[in-house]
Amino acid sequence: METYTKKVLEHFKNPHNYGKMKNPDGVGKVGNVACGDVMWLYIKIGKKKIKNKEQEIIKDIKFETYGCTAAIASSSMITDIAKGKTLDQAINISKDDVVKSLEGLPPIKIHCSVLATDALAEAIYDYMKKNNKKIPEKLEKIHKRIEQEKRIVEEKYKDWVKTEEEMHEKE
């Protein structure tokens, strides 16, 4: 496998903003244990005046991740990138932003950066939904895709469980 960059290893060895958050305003839970990656992202929303307009920002952010080196580094990195950003800015953080900040990820680990942006999007979606806010079209699209992917993985996982059960029955 391609080796990890210095930046990835830095974040992996000393991750920023990890742990559970008490009373978060939004939580994003993505990934599946069967695939080897699970990422939970917690956010707290604050308000900040930007150009005389009060805007909602990500005041605090924390993560909990079960996963490989790249998954943990991507989680740590997205918390750094997202902290202090307006919700609109946060929604627009792309996987490439995460990969670039990490100075690269091995090709087979790119999905870890997607997981990180997905977790952030889901946390913002959760906050907006709970507070009856108007959900931007882009966020709605992302949410729908994640839901669909979740169903596909769960379906695949169910099949796996089924073949396992069949295997044991044969014994």
Partner 1 sequence: MKRIYLDHGATTPVDKEVVKAMLPYLTEKFGNASSIHSFGQEAKDALESSRERIAKKLGAKPNEIIFTSGGSESDNLAIKGVAHAYRKKGNHIITSSIEHPAVLGACKSLAEEGFDITYLEVDKEGFVKPDDVERAITKKTILVSIMHANNEIGTIEPIEEIGKICKSKGVLFHTDAVQSFTKVPIDVNKMNIDLLSISAHKIYGPKGVGALYIREGVKIKKMIDGGHHEFDMRAGTENIPGIVGFAKAVELTNENQIKYMTNLRNKLIKGLLKIPDTILNGPDRKNLSRRLCNNVNISFKFVEGESILLRLDDKGIAVSTGSACSSRSLKPSHVLLAIGLPPQIAHSSIRFTLGRENTIQEINYTIKTTKEVVEELRKLSPFCN
Contact at 8 Å (CB) between 90 and 120? yes
Instruction: Tell me the two tokens of residue 146.
Output: 């994640």
Q: For residue 9, state whether it binds partner 1 (rule: CB under 8 A).
A: yes
Question: Is residue 96 within 8 Å of 81, Cβ to Cβ?
Answer: no
From candidates 48, 94, 131, 160, binder to partner 1 by CB under 8 A = 160
Sign of CA dihedral 137, 143, 41, 108: negative
Residues 13-72 within binding reach of partner 1 (CB under 8 A): 13, 15, 18-20, 29, 33-40, 63-69, 71-72
Q: Is 151 exposed, middle or buried (0-12, 13-18, 19+ CB in 10 A)?
A: exposed
**70, 112, 119, 142: which is the annotated catalytic residue?**
112
- Minimum distance, C-beta of residue 167 to partner 1, in the bound complex (Å): 6
Q: Which is nearer to partner 1, 63 or 127 (CB)?
A: 63
Structure tokens at 85: 């950003």
**68 catalytically annotated:** no
C-beta closer to partner 1: residue 54 or 166: 166
Pick the closer one to partner 1 by CB: 15 or 117: 15
- DSSP state string for 48-78: EEETTEEEEEEEEEEEEEES-HHHHHHHHHH
Q: Which is nearer to partner 1, 78 or 87 (CB)?
A: 78
Q: Is 35 assigned a catalytic role?
A: yes
CB of 128 to partner 1, least distance (A): 22
Backbone phi, psi, residue 59, to 5°: -80, -40
Catalytic residue among 20, 33, 35, 50: 35
Report the nearest approach of partner 1 to the CB of residue 17 (Å). 11
How open is the CA angle 41-124-62, to the nearest 5 degrees?
25
What positions carry a catalytic annotation?
Answer: 35, 112
> Which residues sit at the interface with partner 1, rule CB under 8 A?
1, 4, 9, 12-13, 15, 18-20, 29, 33-40, 63-69, 71-72, 108, 157, 160, 164, 167-168, 170-171
